Amino acid sequence: MSGSVDESEQSTTPSVPLLRSRLLPIHPIASPLLSDLDQPAITVADWIAQIEASLVQITAVQLEATETGLRVILETDNGLLDVPETRSVGNALIADIPNATIAEEFSQANPLEGIALVSVTSLPGNRVRVAITGTDAPPSAEISAEEQGLVLAVTLGDASAVAEEDAIQVVVTGAQDEGYNPSNASVGTRTDTPLRDIPQSVQVVPQQVLEDRQARSIRDGLENVSGIAAITSSVSTRQYFTARGFELYSGFLVNGIPDPTIAQDAGFVNLERLEVLKGPASALYGDSGSSLGATVNFVTRQPLPNPFYEVSAIVGSFNNYQGVLDFSGPLNDSETVLYRLIAAYQSNETFVDFNETQTFSIAPSLSFSLGSRTDLVVEGDFYHLRRNGAYNGLPAVGTVIASPNGELNRSFNGTGPQEDISVVNGRVGYRLEHRFSDNWELRNAFLYSFYADSADSATILVDGLADDNRTLERFGTTGDIESSNYYLNTDLLGSFQTGTIDHRLLFGFSLSRSTTTFDVEDAAAEPIDIFDPVFDQTVVLTGNSNFIESTTRDALGIYLQDQITLTENLKLLLGGRIDIFEERKDNPIDNVETSQSDTAFSPRVGIVYQPIPPISLYASYARSFTPTIGTSASGEAFEPGRGTQYEIGIRADINGQLSANLAFYDLTRTNVTTTDPDDSRFSVQTGEQKSQGIELDISGEILPGWNIIGGYAYNDARVTEDNTIPVGNRLFGAPEHSFNLWTTYRIQQGTFQGLGFGLGFNYVGETQANLANTIELPSFFRTDAAIFYERDRFRAAVNFRNLFDVEYYLGRGSDTLVYAGEPFTVQGTVSWQF
């Protein structure tokens, strides 16, 4: 099609040159993309017929200067685009075009004086966004439809009407809503990098998935990630996992900053999305990235430039009641100060006996635009849990192992009725960004997190069964567990060229301190008969702690990373980090003070080759470290534990809305402590564990309204060297085969537009409950479902978990106890935005 303007327009601006004309390439395909089809359809014939009535595709974008500003021409070759309404956000003019797609997204900075950026990008729901950002003031536009496309006649804004010091640069503080198929993530490189350019498996669980599934916890969110398996029950407030066969206890980040307490009795209502980097990540995050299998980044909800108010109410099984408020918007007329406030209260019982909880959480945040190049976000959250009950599992004998005395109900809780247990978890911090230029940026962030667990009286926990397989041993514990974590991080990011090679350089350092204090007393509690329980909750306490220990760890990390673009389709990643750490322990009961320090270097190398734009082939090598505190029989300090991963994979953008990733990995843990064969009182670092596997992930929109996220994982995780554990034993909580799938369909038009349905499957193969492999947990196949309705600002949903009430169990390393999985539950949600 022609890229010329009409003659009348040319005659009025004969001296104005054509600034840019770029035809966007359309990848040759044998048939139209399935994602372009309209909905709904109920037969194969309907699907075929809809190919001819596909969405209007923007094939090219042209920019032309005029005497008053700019003409933005959106060219099409298969229909007319609807004329959209426009709105201003800061200095940006926004127009969202419905029923449209774009062959390739477009962006051009500084096309002429007064215009800082023009971008044309795709949005979920078959929409295309045109954003035109003014330098000092928002522009305006007249939009007209023509046979060949849509024309925006842009007029520059009146800079004199906006004081220079109040000029606003639009800054994206959260990820663009891309439905089920996010294209970028920061966790893999500490920069906002397209997933297709990261030489390591990264999976994102976006906001839309969390909303459709009505995820209530980290556990619910990570069920959508292949290779990750829960090893604690939904009743357990501390949420632990295995990833690629290895324990995932503390490899968690909040907005890219390490926070080891976020998985322990923490809130979830302010979560925007989850980003999961598979494999070691110490090259980026030090010992916080030492969780061999994965590092999980919690991206929180950020202040919004437009007023937003949402109220939600949740009612569910086991007397679950929850209310959530989410308010956001500007605090001043110039929109330089934005706020967000999220608060929630929940009261619920559980399927386990003697277990009731009440929680309150609040998450405030403020965003400041400190001029055109500097932005500051201050945020925090506070979570308070009171629990009238405890739960640390139930005996394996009588559940997954046959007992001559009978079978236990999964609701059994041998701890019995308890008094109030209080947990406080929270964090507060800031993120400061300053852009020296379009190519150089400085980022500084600080996070302080805290955790406190206390009880008004002794908490009773269960131990193991006596030889009669019916007498359950118990003990009581009381006292305080407290931890504090301080983390300061500074990054310098720059883009530059050496000849024809592009570089994206990251240089940074971090300082951290974590302190943990235990002050507890353990005492005997009366055992019970699990088949005829009589609960005597008497615990005789002396008031004298029998375990007091304070641990402080200080660490300094310095890291460098270079993302190198050798050619348009060949990219190289080089990175490394040096960590210097010291740990001090003080045990006043034994009058023992110890101190140990060490240094670790963690390299990372990766390459990405794209033979055609939709396909990325990658390979990577990465190492991690885990501080290992202690000494051998000879008094020699232990070296850090080590993890080494080799990974190759392929990522494919099947179309603009659907992508898949296939990864093969070989992951080895070395310097594992194992019993010294010459002196059982000590350990030696001769142990080794290996995990090899395959992961396949897919996410996005198959057809308009039909979304999917799913994955399959094969994992062979075993002990390869040890002095006490038999070589060849499987690692605990690591299924050989696992599969997850969640899919939804929304009716797109007609009387039932807005009505949707969801269906999910979760399969976990046989797993071992401990490293000794004495308890094998059976496989299970769980089915979830949802029905929801969305109309304008109203949303109602009913979610079903474990639809067929499958009984299943999980294990986290115990030789005697297992955790019961959640039975069939129903949860109803109603939300309203105003």
| pLDDT for residue 444 is more than 90 | yes
| Per-residue model confidence as pLDDT tens digits over 582-617 | 999 998 888 888 899 999 999 999 999 999 999 999
Burial of residue 467 (number of CB atoms within 10 Å: 0-12, 13-18, 19+) = exposed
Contact 39, 704 (CB under 8 A): yes
Nearest to 714 by CA among 729, 731, 694, 734: 694
Mean pLDDT over 617-642 rounds to 91
Q: What are the tens digits of pLDDT across the range 712-728?
A: 999 999 999 999 999 99
For 395-439, the pLDDT digits (tens) are: 999 999 999 999 999 999 999 998 888 899 999 999 999 999 989
Residue with tokens 């998450």: 363
Q: Residues 609-629: what's their mean pLDDT?
A: 94
Residue 6 pLDDT > 60: no
Q: Angle at Cα 668 formed by Cα 659 and Cα 192, nearest 5°?
A: 35
Kind of pairing between the strands at 252-254 and 294-300 = parallel
DSSP 481-515: EEEEEEEEEEEEEEEEEETTEEEEEEEEEEEEEEE
Distance (Å, whole) CA 775 – CA 191:
43
pLDDT at 465 over 80: yes
- Give, as one character, the DSSP assignment of residue 822: P
pLDDT higher than threshold 90 for residue 37: no
Pairing of strands 737-746, 374-387: unpaired
Per-residue confidence (pLDDT) for residue 353, from 0 to 100:
94
Give the residue carrying structure tokens 């390869």. Answer: 720
Non-local CB neighbours of 621 within 8 Å, separated by 6+ positions: 603, 604, 605, 606, 644, 645, 646, 647
Q: For residue 427, what are the contacts with CB-CB under 8 A and spacing of at least 6?
A: 254, 259, 261, 262, 380, 381, 447, 448, 449, 450
**Beta partners for 744?**
707, 758
Measure Cα distances from 758 to 473, 591, 659, 786 in Å: 44, 59, 20, 5
Q: In terms of Cα–Cα distance, which of 318, 313, 338, 337 is closest to 328?
A: 338
> Is residue 440 a contact partner of residue 447, using CB atoms and an 8 Å limit?
no
pLDDT on residue 5: 35
pLDDT digits (tens, 9 = 90+) for 318-350: 999 999 999 999 999 888 999 999 999 999 999
DSSP 730-792: BPTT--SEEEEEEEEEE--SSTTTTEEEEEEEEEE--EESSTT---EEPPEEEEEEEEEEEET
Question: What pLDDT shows up at residue 461?
Answer: 93
Residue 40: is the preceding peptide bond cis (ω within 30°)? yes
Is residue 573 within 8 A of residue 199, CB to CB? The reply is yes
pLDDT of residue 244: 97
How much of the chain, in percent, has pLDDT values that exceed 70?
A: 90
pLDDT in tens, 211-247: 999 998 999 999 999 999 999 988 887 889 999 999 9
Q: Are strands 241-243 and 228-230 parallel, antiparallel or unpaired?
A: antiparallel
| Run of H or E including 394 | strand 394-395
Asked whether 63 and 19 are in contact (CB, 8 A), the reply is yes
- DSSP-assigned beta bridge partners for residue 482: 452, 517
Q: Which has more confidence, 533 or 162?
A: 533
| pLDDT-derived band at 159, boundaries 50, 70, 90 | low
Cα angle, residue 827 at apex, residues 823 and 829 outer, rounded to 5°: 165
- pLDDT tens figures, 762-817: 999 999 999 999 999 999 999 999 999 998 889 999 999 999 999 999 998 999 99
**Rounded CA Rg of the chain:** 29
Each residue's pLDDT tens digit, 289-323: 678 999 999 999 999 999 999 999 999 999 999 99
Percent of the chain with pLDDT over 90: 66
159: DSSP letter: G
Strands 184-185 and 193-194, bridge-based pairing? antiparallel
Mean pLDDT of 445-452: 95
pLDDT at 682: 86
24 has a pLDDT exceeding 70: no
CB 511 within 8 A of CB 566: no
DSSP 446-480: EEEEEEEEEESSPEEEEEEE-TTSSEEEEEEEEEE
Pick the range with the lowest mean pLDDT from 128-137, 524-533, 558-567.
128-137
Predicted confidence band of residue 749 (pLDDT cuts 50, 70, 90):
confident
- Residue bearing tokens 């996070």: 447
Q: Provide, for the chain, the percentages of residues in helix, strand and coil under a 3-state DSSP scheme, each rounded to the nearest 5.
A: 5, 55, 40
Note the pLDDT of residue 169.
38
Predicted confidence (pLDDT) at residue 7 exceeds the cutoff of 60: no
For residues 456 and 450, the model is more confident at 450
In sequence order, the β-bridge partners of residue 600 are 579
At residue 745, the pLDDT reads 97
| Chain segment 162-220, per-residue pLDDT in tens | 444 343 333 333 334 578 999 899 999 999 899 999 999 999 999 999 999 999 899 99
What is residue 35's predicted lDDT score, i.e. its pLDDT? 41
Q: Are 677 and 723 in contact (CB under 8 A)?
A: yes
Return mean pLDDT, the chain. 88
Residue 358 CB partners (closer than 8 Å, separation 6+): 345, 346, 347, 385, 386
Name the token pair of 648: 């190759």
Complete domains list, the chain, with CATH: 7-166 (2.60.40), 184-300 (2.170.130.10), 308-478+491-833 (2.40.170.20)
pLDDT of residue 29: 33
In the prediction, which pLDDT does 46 show?
A: 57
Res 490 pLDDT > 60:
yes
- For residue range 82-125, list pLDDT tens digits in order: 888 888 776 788 888 888 888 888 888 888 888 888 989 887 66
8-state DSSP, 265: S
